[in-house]
Chain A
Amino acid sequence: MDNAYLIETIIKVVVILLVFSALAGIGTYFERKVLAFMQRRLGPMNVGPFGLLQVGADGIKLFTKEDIIPSGVVAPIFKIAPVITAATAFMAAAAIPFLPAFTLFGYEVHPIVADINIGILYVLGVMAVGLFGPLLGGMASANKFALLSAARAAAVFISYEVVTGLAALAPIMMVGSLSLIDFNNYQIENGWIVWSQPLAFILFWIAAFAETGRTPFHLIANDHEIIDGFGTEYSGMRWGLFFIGEYANMFFISFVIPIIFLGGFGDGTVLGAFALLGKMAFFFFFFLWTRAAWPDVRPDQLMWLCWKVLMPLAVINVVITGFVMMF
């Protein structure tokens, strides 16, 4: 491993960290604005033009707020839980190709930290680990609402993970590789996977909602019934880390869906890069859109949906894909 590679990787890591931390902040701004407009409100208006600096104000507030560790909690776990959520969200980004390779000052840059050969498996796996944040944080909080939310986190965890895996399995079988770069290249030659795997696409998309804990599967931190769930006892930056993790996750999954199913960044032209960003923006917007429009489901409904509807569909899809590929 030569030095140039090391430096390049470090720079990429730092850039991704900075860009997506900032995006997570701006994501909250967009969420508020979009939700507000859909509900005929104005959203943040007072800090900066159109409330744009609200993100900064929130950041200052979160950073300077007292970090309270309640006396009854299991302190080490309580302290580490938000870090798990935020860290795993960013770790998952390592295997995601955000843009096609481009040349900068005569140096070819691959905007992916590590093109590992188990790419998608790694991304989904690490994102799934992120759910340990709510689970552990909720259990360590010594708060009944937090405990309820932890129980729900476990329920969500065992439900959607199967669907995600099985839904992604069919495209993986077609591509014959787990690297997201290979997914992209496969789709240059054979057209978007969504045309041959529409069912897998929809299942994966649904599971992505459970993965990121967004409405309609926002039951882990459902503020209108269990306060803020696992976040009830958290304050200051620890709570902020949960938040950053959630939004970073939304961005990353919004990248993963188009890369797997909608042609990724295409053949590496600038147009393809912008197309990927556009698709990403749509999926991110869709997360906000559903939050304004849809009700939340109950935990038992989520488990019912995942185990009795989505998983059989995913299995059937995999079997059919297998048969089609065999003959």
Chain B
Amino acid sequence: MEQFNNRNVADNGYFMVDIEDYPTDSMGRFKRIIKRTFRLELFVGLWVVMREMIKFDIHTISYPEEKMPIGPRYRAVHEMKRLWESDAERCIGCGLCEKICISDCIRMDTKIDEESRKEVTEYTINLGRCIFCGYCAEVCPELAITHGGEYENASEQREHYVDYEYMLTPIDVMKANAQKEFEGFGAITPHEDERVAKTPLSY
């Protein structure tokens, strides 16, 4: 992963390819043909592919059996997170995600529960419409809705829904302290605490 984070391309062994000018007169073209013919450039190509065949360094991943590790910031099917402190659901039913969703694929319904708190009663995402843009995860004030790593969500029809229960971290996973925080869109960046400035009271 480190090598991909290094943006300093200058000392990564990159260099500009030296491209000759195109010949403009027929003599120049003739010389170029002669040069190309007798430098046997075609055989360089033959050798390269032969070398790769002999090395047999196969890069194919036989997909259903083998899988690529995906990055922690990968935006696949959504997850609903729980609070670490109380195992309660993080979602406060504010509806921001429903509002911001640019493909209009989140629908939710809320009610006021016994403790006068908002409670989510219905929550579905139509994955057939979702473009996995990550806006919902970014806008969520509670870091409740995030993206997860589950990308195998093929379905036989265009409408394909996931609901609140499906996305919510199961309680036993939570009890085992195994909930994974999402590192991507909307997540808290490292050292966030130091950067947050308190609202001054002197207004």
Contact = CB atoms under 8 A, between A and B. Distances in A.
A323 interface: no
B58 A42 contact: yes
A206 B45 CA distance: 17
Interface stretch (A9-17, A248-256, A290-298): A290-298
Chain B: number of interface residues, binned into ranges: 10 to 19
A50 interface: no
Contact of B42 (A34, A38, A39, A294): A294
Contact of A42 (B45, B53, B62): B62
Contacts of B50: 38, 289
Interface residues of A, number: 14
Contacts of A41: 58-60
A37 B62 CA distance: 14
Interface string A74-109: 000000000000000000000000000000000000
B56 interface: yes
B46 A293 contact: yes
B57 interface: yes
Given A293-B45, A293-B46, A294-B45, A45 B62 contact: yes
B46 A40 contact: no
A306 to B, nearest CB: 14
A42 B63 CA distance: 12
Contacts of B62: 42, 45
A65 to B, nearest CB: 24
Contact of A293 (B49, B58, B59): B49
A292 B58 contact: no
A51 to B, nearest CB: 11
Interface in B30-62: 42, 45-46, 48-50, 52-53, 56-60, 62
10 contacts: A37-B53, A38-B49, A40-B60, A42-B60, A45-B62, A289-B49, A293-B42, A293-B48, A294-B42, A294-B45
Given A40-B60, A294-B46, 20 more contacts: A34-B53, A36-B60, A37-B52, A37-B53, A37-B56, A37-B58, A40-B58, A41-B58, A41-B59, A41-B60, A42-B58, A42-B60, A289-B49, A289-B50, A292-B49, A293-B42, A293-B48, A293-B49, A294-B42, A294-B45
